[in-house]
């Protein structure tokens, strides 16, 4: 970008008398003090033809720019200098054809603003941008003399959570004219791509307030095959950050389709189980706020009266499998990774929970490659030892397949 100079009679790129800093977009240092320094520097730089110092013409004006941190910025016009002598103009080498046209000024201002946008992008700075309008894909954001684009997926969650019945177009219309915090995530002057994200700005503002283990009220946003995105409600009542609940963290039960458990707009409690601050990602869990129903032993499944003791039998060769369990064993042994299935012991409850056969995997830590299953029907509860090379999730999927095959 050319350095603009001012000399007596015109503004020139070649005859340097005053180095203007108006387009040096130093975001952290430009202020009114700089402006007065520039004015003093300019005054001391204007000389007459014979070398003596002259007072600057009264028609010369340089509008002050507060720098790139101001949401509004005055228009820049080429300065005008009146001269009384053609010979004086010739003496300082004035070339009228080199004077700046309004289009030159506009182009240089745009170039300076693209430079500012790249600086915002590189430094990760937050810009307070005015919403100029919207289209089918997102918002139009004013960035000084430029207008950039904020895709709807990069919009913060509070807008839709505040008025969940509104469409995204209605939300965008309501935002027009307002100012929102954004980050520049792409600034390509050649391809004229200036892209913003409100989500990234909110991450910078609020991510330091969250930690692993924190519990939040959350609202379900979108639901996908692999999980659901939930918006976290902060103490100020707004939903600032979004996290993912993977399908495996929705419930202790095996969930085939997240949509069977969660729907858009549901309010749930979640626990933060991981934060990737480099990638701005939050991992959430719903099931870890509930007691794991699989953390059960034979003793826990069978509540007994205080005056009586559980009735256990540990001679597995004398134990008859519960009705329907034998065929399940046969099907399990046909599955890859299942080496052996046998009944270890059984007990009898004082009450009947269900006459139907129930089978589930206990989350009791395995011993080597041996896991524990529990089966219950009527008053009987049987503990089953499953020898397998599968992990816990693999066993759950295997049990699900087998139970779907068995009538």
List pLDDT tens digits, range 211-241.
999 999 999 999 999 999 999 999 999 999 9
Looking at the structure, do residues 229 and 189 belong to the same domain, yes or no? no
Residues 110 and 104: their CA atoms lie apart, in Å, by: 10
Q: Please report the pLDDT score of residue 37 as a whole number.
A: 45
Name the average pLDDT for the chain.
76
Do residues 138 and 154 touch, judged by C-beta distance below 8 A?
A: yes
Q: How far apart are CA 232 and CA 246, in angstroms?
A: 15
134 in a domain, yes or no?
Answer: yes
Instruction: Give the Cα separation of 360 and 372 in Å (integer).
Output: 9
Higher pLDDT, 72 or 181: 181
**For residue 8, is it within any domain?**
no
Residue 193, domain member (yes or no): yes
Q: Is the pLDDT of residue 95 over 80?
A: no
- Tell me how far CA of residue 365 lies from CA of 188, 294, 338, 384, 402, in angstroms: 55, 11, 18, 14, 23
pLDDT for the residue numbered 358: 82
- Residue 378's pLDDT is 80
Is residue 21 one of the residues assigned to a domain? no
Clarify whether residues 264 and 281 are in a common domain: yes
Rg (alpha carbons) of the chain, rounded to whole number: 36
392 pLDDT above the threshold of 80: yes
- The answer on 281 and 223 residing in a single domain is yes
Q: How does residue 117 score in pLDDT terms, banded at 50, 70 and 90?
A: very high
DSSP H/E element including 383 = strand 380-388
Of residues 95 and 378, the one with the higher pLDDT is 378
Residues 343, 261 share a domain: no
Token pair for residue 194? 């200036």
What's the pLDDT tens digit per position in 155-213?
Answer: 999 998 888 888 999 999 999 999 999 999 999 999 999 999 999 999 999 999 999 99
> Considering the domain boundaries, does residue 72 fall inside one?
no
The percentage of residues in the chain with a pLDDT greater than 90, rounded to a whole number, is 45
Q: Which of the listed residues 203, 227, 256 is the one where a domain comes to its end?
A: 203
Tell me, yes or no, whether 99 lies in a domain: no
pLDDT, mean of residues 298-314:
48
137: domain CATH number is 2.40.50.140
Is position 19 within any domain? Answer: no
Residues 326 and 377 in one domain: yes
Say which range, 68-72, 223-227, 323-327, has the weakest mean pLDDT.
68-72
Count of structural domains within the chain: 3
Q: In this structure, how many other beta carbons lie within 10 angstroms of the beta carbon of residue 121?
A: 18
Distance from the first to the final alpha carbon of the chain: 78
C-alpha 113/C-alpha 117 separation (Å) is 6
Examine the pLDDT at 350 and tell me if it is beyond 50: yes
Buried-exposed string 2-24: b where 16+ CB fall within 10 A, e elsewhere: eebbbbbbbbbeebeebebbbbb
- For residue 177, being part of any structural domain is answered with yes
pLDDT exceeds cutoff 50 at 81: no
1-19 average pLDDT score:
37
Determine the Cα–Cα distance for residues 5 and 42; give it in Å rounded to an integer.
10
- Sheet harboring 354-361: ordered strands across? 311-313, 338-348, 380-388, 370-378, 354-361
129 and 198 share one domain: yes
| Residue 215 shares a structural domain with residue 191 | no
Mean pLDDT of 381-391: 91
Same domain, 214 and 133: no
Outline where DSSP puts E strands in 105-257. Answer: 126-134, 138-143, 146-151, 179-188, 193-197, 215-224, 227-233, 239-246
Answer yes or no: is pLDDT of 335 > 50.
yes
List of residues 6+ apart from 302 with CB closer than 8 A? 310, 347, 348, 349, 350, 381
pLDDT digits (tens, 9 = 90+) for 277-297: 999 999 999 988 987 554 555
Q: Domain limits at 160?
A: 107-203
- CA distances to 71, 147, 319 from 110, in Å: 15, 11, 85
Q: Where is the domain boundary, 154, 176, 203? A: 203
Rounded to an integer, the average pLDDT of 94-102 is 62
Q: What string of DSSP letters covers 177-194?
A: T-EEEEEEEEEETTTTEE
Could you tell me the pLDDT band of residue 141, with boundaries at 50, 70 and 90? very high
Q: Which residue has the higher pLDDT, 127 or 61?
A: 127
The residue among 40 and 255 whose pLDDT is bigger is 255
Tell me, yes or no, whether 218 and 284 share the same domain.
Answer: yes
CB count, 10 Å around CB of 407?
A: 4
231 and 157 inside one domain: no
- Judgement on whether residues 158 and 237 belong to the same structural domain of the protein: no
Task: Check residue 38 and give its pLDDT.
Answer: 42
Q: Average pLDDT, stretch 292-318?
A: 50
Q: Are residues 199 and 220 in the same domain?
A: no
Q: Is 37 exposed, middle or buried (0-12, 13-18, 19+ CB in 10 A)?
A: exposed
Indicate whether 249 pLDDT > 80: yes
* More confident: 108 or 89: 108
């Amino acid at each position: 970008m050319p350095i603009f100079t001012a000399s007596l009679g015109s503004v020139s790129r070649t005859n340097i008398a005053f180095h203007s800093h108006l387009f040096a977009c130093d975001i952290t240092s430009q202020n009114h003090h700089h402006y007065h320094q520039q004015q003093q520097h300019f005054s001391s730089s204007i000389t007459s033809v014979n070398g003596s110092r002259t007072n600057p013409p009264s028609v010369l004006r340089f509008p002050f720019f507060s720098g790139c941190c101001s949401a509004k910025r005055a228009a820049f016009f080429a300065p005008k200098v009146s001269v009384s002598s053609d010979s004086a103009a010739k003496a300082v080498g004035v070339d009228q054809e080199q004077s700046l046209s309004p289009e030159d000024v506009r182009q240089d201002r745009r170039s300076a603003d693209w430079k500012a946008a790249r600086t915002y992008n590189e430094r990760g700075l937050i810009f307070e941008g005015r919403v100029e309008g919207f289209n089918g894909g997102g918002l139009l954001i004013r960035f000084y003399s430029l207008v950039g684009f904020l895709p709807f997926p990069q919009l913060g969650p509070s807008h839709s959570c505040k008025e969940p019945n509104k469409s995204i177009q209605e939300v965008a219309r309501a935002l027009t004219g307002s100012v929102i915090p954004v980050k520049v995530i792409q600034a390509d002057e050649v391809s004229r791509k200036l892209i913003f994200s409100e989500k990234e700005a909110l991450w910078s503002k609020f991510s330091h307030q969250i930690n692993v283990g924190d519990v939040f009220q959350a609202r379900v946003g979108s639901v996908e095959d692999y999980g659901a995105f939930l918006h976290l409600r902060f103490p100020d009542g707004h939903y600032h950050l979004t996290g993912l609940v993977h399908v495996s963290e929705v419930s202790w039960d095996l969930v085939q389709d997240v949509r069977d458990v969660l729907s858009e707009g549901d309010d749930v409690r979640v626990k933060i189980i991981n934060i990737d601050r480099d990638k701005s990602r939050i991992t959430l869990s719903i099931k870890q706020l509930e007691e794991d129903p699989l953390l059960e032993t034979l003793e826990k499944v069978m509540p007994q009266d205080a005056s009586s003791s559980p009735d256990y039998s540990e001679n597995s060769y004398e134990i008859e499998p519960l009705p329907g369990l034998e065929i399940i064993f046969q099907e399990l042994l046909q599955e890859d990774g299942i080496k052996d299935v046998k009944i270890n012991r059984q007990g009898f409850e004082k009450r009947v929970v269900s006459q139907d056969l129930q089978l589930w995997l206990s989350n009791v830590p395995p011993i080597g490659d041996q896991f524990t299953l529990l089966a219950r029907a009527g008053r009987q509860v049987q503990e089953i030892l499953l020898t397998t090379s599968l992990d816990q999730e693999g066993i759950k999927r295997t049990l699900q397949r087998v139970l779907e095959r068995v009538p």
